[in-house]
Copies of this chain bind each other. A is one copy, B any other.
Amino acid sequence: MSKIAPISGFPEYSPAQRIVEQRFLDVIRETFELHGFASIETRSIEPVERLASQGEDADKEIYGVQRLADGASDAKWGLHFDLTVPFARYVLENAGTLEFPFRRYQIQKSWRGERPQEGRYREFTQADIDVVDVGALAPHFEAEMPLVIADVFAKFPIGEFVIRVNNRKLANGFYAGLGIKDLQGTLRAVDKLDKIGAEAVRALLLERGLTAEQADGCLRLAQISSVDTSFVEQVRTLGVSNPMLDEGLESLAQVVEFAAANAPGKVVADLKIARGLDYYTGTVYEVQLVGREDWGTVSAGGRYDALASDGRTTYPGVGISIGVTRILGLLFGAGELSASRSTPAAVLVAVNDEAGRANSTAIATALRARGIPCEVAPKADKFGKQIRYADRRGIPYVWFPRDDGDQVKDIRSGDQVAADPATWSPPPADLRPAVLAAGVGGVD
Q: Which residues of A contact B (CB under 8 A)?
A: 1-2, 4-7, 10-15, 18-19, 22, 33-45, 47-50, 52-53, 59-69, 72-75, 77-79, 89-90, 92-94, 97-99, 101, 103-104, 109, 111, 113, 123, 133, 138, 140-141, 144, 147, 151, 258, 261-262, 310, 342-345, 354, 357-358, 361-362, 365, 368, 371-376, 378-379, 392-393
- Identify A64's interface contact among B18, B67, B74, B97, CB under 8 A: B67
Bound CA span A22–B25, Å: 13
Q: List 30 A-B contacts (CB under 8 A).
A: A1-B53, A2-B47, A2-B50, A10-B43, A13-B41, A14-B97, A15-B38, A15-B39, A18-B39, A19-B38, A33-B373, A34-B344, A34-B374, A35-B368, A36-B344, A36-B345, A37-B343, A44-B109, A59-B69, A61-B67, A63-B65, A63-B68, A65-B65, A69-B113, A72-B72, A72-B73, A101-B378, A138-B378, A144-B376, A261-B361
> How many whole Å from A308's CB to the nearest CB in chain B?
9
Bound CA span A74–B50, Å: 23
In the bound complex, residues from chain B placing their C-beta under 8 Å from that of A104 are 15
Give 6 A-B pairs besides A18-B40, A261-B362 with Cβ atoms closer than 8 angstroms.
Answer: A1-B49, A15-B104, A38-B343, A52-B68, A59-B68, A140-B357
- Identify A68's interface contact among B62, B342, B344, CB under 8 A: B62
B7 touches A379 (CB 8 A): no
Closest to A365 in B: B262
B73 touches A67 (CB 8 A): no
> How many whole Å from A1's CB to the nearest CB in chain B?
6
A43 touches B342 (CB 8 A): no
A-B complex: 10 closest residue pairs judged by Cβ atoms: A36-B375, A36-B345, A33-B344, A10-B43, A67-B113, A2-B47, A15-B38, A2-B49, A34-B368, A38-B343
B373 touches A36 (CB 8 A): yes
> How many whole Å from A327's CB to the nearest CB in chain B?
16
In the bound complex, residues from chain B placing their C-beta under 8 Å from that of A151 are 368
Bound CA span A379–B113, Å: 42
A68 touches B77 (CB 8 A): no
Bound CA span A362–B260, Å: 12
Bound CA span A50–B7, Å: 13
In the bound complex, residues from chain B placing their C-beta under 8 Å from that of A75 are 66, 68
Bound CA span A4–B140, Å: 30
B41 touches A12 (CB 8 A): yes
